Structure 1
Amino acid sequence: MNSIKTLCAALLLAACSSPKQETEVIASTPTPLSYEFLIGTYTDSPIQGINHLYFSPSENILRVETIAGGIANPSFVIASKDGKRVFSLEEESGTPGGQVLSFARNPEDNSLTLIDQKKSGGDHPCHISISPNEDYVILGNYTGGSLSVFKVSSDGMLEHAQTIQHKGKSVNPQRQEKPHVHSTTFDPAGKQVLVADLGTDKIYVYDFDDSLAEPLRLSGEFPVTPGDGPRHLTFSADGKEVLVVEEMTASLDVFAYENGILTPKQRLSLLAEGFEGKVGAAEIRLSPDGKQVYVSNRGDANTISVFGKRPSGEYVPVQNISSGGLMPRNFNLTADGKFLLVAHQASNDIVIFERDSFTGKLTQTLWKAAVNKPVYLFRLDD
């Protein structure tokens, strides 16, 4: 009995004298919410060019820096999915036109290194799109009235594959005296390319086959209302609709889209009731959640219009708000849809709005960055 008591006492003493096993709790610091964009600009000096924007609302940081100077009017700029390859242009005229450029981007410091550049095949290239496999880029030459296709090698070199010259004109003798290709957009499947031509008042649909030496083949032409001037377009979230911004009439046209065929469905105005003055509708974007459509309008309007979609499929106006500056040529939304950034060519700034995730409505914030003639915003944080 005494031996049992002695053993229990020894075990109790050992338990009390053994070191405590404590778990150290270290408070983790959340990564600040941040966003990155490339900015295309019009330039007035050799030190200007492509810019990079960093925005961290939680840290109250909005920073813009030039990452590729010495490029004349890089008005449109896009990047590969991994952000390591960048394509831009020089929106100029000459013989035989502007330039298309490819860069290597270092995500660590955002520096750009020029890999290759080629003539665009027409005057004033203004838009670039990249194929789903990222092995082709297609650009539109606005004044030249043509589109050019370039094959992209694995190391970023550009090889001209095809140039297609549009023909024709429309009803406005000052602005539609000849073709003016304003955008080239791949459909969601990457099988067709839709080309908006402001000068001819048409949307051209081209079949895209990358197994061919010349990958584009025209499959259809779809006229809009004479005098509209189609500029940019986007697809609905399900890919069954094409939404076109008509620059010269400040209208939004909705088309059903199936097998490369566009069928008119609805037409909406970007103008407030009773508005009088000049217009210049510019960019169209679908919200990341697919619930709302946003369209910018320049001229005397300087607005962002918001449209929602009813269960019936009808689009309805939600808001028409001042863009916060002059000449909102381009804008973009953050990948989470929380913010919308507007680039103003004439007031030389980028203004940031908060977006209501339910209604889609915008509220202007105090964040604003000074930038020389910003005309395009490409989101890097997808």
Structure 2
Amino acid sequence: MVKEIVSICTIGILATSCQSRKEVKSMNEATNDTLTMLVGTYTSGESKGIYTYRLDAKTGNAQLMSETPVSDPSYLTPSADGKFVYAVSEHNDTTAAVTAFALDKEKGKLTKLNEQPTMGADPCYIITNGQYAVTANYSGGSISVFPIKEDGTLDKASGIMRFNGSGPDPVRQKVPHLHCVQFTPDKKYLFACDLGTDKIHKFNVNLQANHRNKQPLLTTGQPLSFQLEPGSGPRHLTFAPNGMHAYVINELSGKVTAFQYTDGQLKVIQNIEADSVRAQGSADIHISPDGKYLYASNRLKEDGIAIFSINGKDGTLTQKGYQHTGIHPRNFIITPNGRFLLVACRDSNVIQIYERDINTGLLTDTRKDIKLSKPVCIKFVE
């Protein structure tokens, strides 16, 4: 009789355990498909600043959660743990700044922590490695480095790297124009795209540096920079998920440059056209989570997204299609599950939501547009 009771109890425990595992798995799946979406805007129209949405990554449905007043937050980035958000204010004067916020993911609420001047005009890009935030300052021709304290606030800029030079375009390349900064997948280096001089500047990253020890985050790398085609205008850079290849969208030439990446070194393996009408308005670049497709946005004429397949062996690209979008697709993003691609169309005042065909890479408009004045940056927090 005792044995029977033990057996019954064991079966009950196992059943309860299995049920608990299923519930946990179900909860995790639901959590992974529910995203907090942050949208940066230009505030010259009706927008007030940063908008927070809840996005269902299974259906593509979005619900507005909150709005946070801040001037011209044209680019922003969340911390890896989703507790903080850092946003630039893209101003062409001494009011250019970066602001730190605390994020309540459940409520979608941002609370301002503090603000620091970038000491460089028109900051248009920002990244963080958890210890520092780094901005690319377009008109300032510089990048700024900000230590981050334990409470998420920003210390004043501890380093400002200014650049010299020009490019062959007499209008767009009179001076350096820094448009993007990216840490390499191994975290050991930082690359900075300079549209004005057709260069990607290289820095070594001090992985031990933080706001407490006051060690500098960046030192000049070897080589100092990588030279791209004259007049290309490198704008944004992204790495393949495998960390072996990097890709740059060139704003002026409208080409994507593909690189082999090895321990801080970039070797050009291909230049391929993304903008066939030479509008000189190519903007953003991203790769699908599975690493099979690359997307690049173009503006000013034939606004849309060029679609490429990625050769899994050598990283080269083959164009597969072109998706016309709303006006001025400055920025776009792909959901972590790879199902949707969202495009911030600044001059159409809308975020378009496209469903991705994971087999072909092609896009289909879901018509689930999010209407918003001058959206220009979209980020997810899981």
The aligned residue for residue 379 of structure 1 is 380
Aligned pairs for 1:19-34 (under 5 A) are: 31=30, 33-34=33-34
Aligned pairs for 1:197-276 (under 5 A) are: 197-209=194-206, 210-211=208-209, 213-219=215-221, 220-271=224-275, 275-276=276-277
User: What's the secondary structure of 1:285's corresponding residue?
Assistant: strand
> Cα offset for 1:256?
1.3
The aligned residue for residue 141 of structure 1 is 137
Distance 1:45 1:250 in 2: 28
Opposite residue 77 of structure 2, the aligned amino acid is I
Distance 2:59 2:232 in 1: 44
- Say whether 1:319 aligns with 2:321: yes
> Cα offset for 1:162?
0.4
Opposite residue 259 of structure 1, the aligned amino acid is D
Distance 1:111 1:332 in 2: 21
The aligned residue for residue 119 of structure 1 is 117
Query: Is the contact made by 2:46 and 2:373 (CA closer than 8 Å) also made in structure 1?
Result: no
Aligned pairs for 1:157-168 (under 5 A) are: 157-159=153-155, 160-168=157-165
Opposite residue 176 of structure 2, the aligned amino acid is P
For residues 300-321 of structure 1, give each alpha carbon's deviation from its aligned partner in whole angstroms, at most 9, with x where no partner exists.
1211111112354232111111
User: What's the secondary structure of 1:367's corresponding residue?
Assistant: coil
Change (3 A) 1:60 1:336: closer
Query: Is the contact made by 1:279 and 1:301 (CA closer than 8 Å) also made in structure 2?
Result: no
**Deviates most, 122-131 or 205-214:** 205-214
The aligned residue for residue 351 of structure 2 is 350
> Cα offset for 1:203?
0.4
Instruction: Give the structure with the larger helix fraction.
Output: 2
For residues 128-155 of structure 1, give each alpha carbon's deviation from its aligned partner in whole angstroms, at most 9, with x where no partner exists.
0111xx0111101100000010110111
Change (3 A) 1:112 1:262: same
- Say whether 1:370 aligns with 2:371: yes
Distance 2:310 2:36 in 1: 29
Structure 2 unaligned regions, length at least 5: 1-14
Distance 2:57 2:154 in 1: 38
Query: Is the contact made by 1:116 and 1:156 (CA closer than 8 Å) also made in structure 2?
Result: no
Distance 2:199 2:81 in 1: 34
Q: Which has the larger radius of gyration?
A: 1
User: What's the secondary structure of 1:360's corresponding residue?
Assistant: coil
User: What's the secondary structure of 1:366's corresponding residue?
Assistant: coil
Distance 1:368 1:82 in 2: 29
For residues 135-179 of structure 1, give each alpha carbon's deviation from its aligned partner in whole angstroms, at most 9, with x where no partner exists.
111101100000010110111121221001011111111111101
Structure 1 unaligned regions, length at least 5: 1-22
> Cα offset for 1:49?
0.3
- Say whether 1:194 aligns with 2:191: yes
> Cα offset for 1:54?
2.3
Among 182, 189, 200, the residue aligned to 1:185? 182
User: What's the secondary structure of 1:346's corresponding residue?
Assistant: helix
Change (3 A) 1:234 1:311: closer
Query: Is the contact made by 1:48 and 1:66 (CA closer than 8 Å) also made in structure 2?
Result: no
> Cα offset for 1:46?
8.3
Query: Is the contact made by 1:253 and 1:264 (CA closer than 8 Å) also made in structure 2?
Result: yes
Query: Is the contact made by 2:236 and 2:248 (CA closer than 8 Å) also made in structure 1?
Result: yes
Change (3 A) 1:282 1:218: same
Distance 2:55 2:46 in 1: 26
What TM-score do you get using the length of structure 2 for normalisation? 0.86
Query: Is the contact made by 1:277 and 1:301 (CA closer than 8 Å) also made in structure 2?
Result: no
User: What's the secondary structure of 2:367's corresponding residue?
Assistant: strand
For residues 57-91 of structure 1, give each alpha carbon's deviation from its aligned partner in whole angstroms, at most 9, with x where no partner exists.
7677422354211x110001111122111100110
Distance 1:122 1:204 in 2: 17
> Cα offset for 1:200?
0.9
The aligned residue for residue 3 of structure 1 is none
> Cα offset for 1:36?
2.8
Distance 1:126 1:47 in 2: 18
Change (3 A) 1:60 1:290: closer
The aligned residue for residue 41 of structure 2 is 41
What TM-score do you get using the length of structure 1 for normalisation? 0.86
Distance 1:371 1:278 in 2: 25
Distance 1:60 1:85 in 2: 25
Opposite residue 241 of structure 2, the aligned amino acid is A
Opposite residue 41 of structure 2, the aligned amino acid is T
Opposite residue 240 of structure 1, the aligned amino acid is M
Q: Aligned residues: percent identity?
A: 33
Change (3 A) 1:59 1:308: closer
Query: Is the contact made by 1:203 and 1:221 (CA closer than 8 Å) also made in structure 2?
Result: yes
Distance 2:146 2:350 in 1: 33
Query: Is the contact made by 1:145 and 1:165 (CA closer than 8 Å) also made in structure 2?
Result: yes
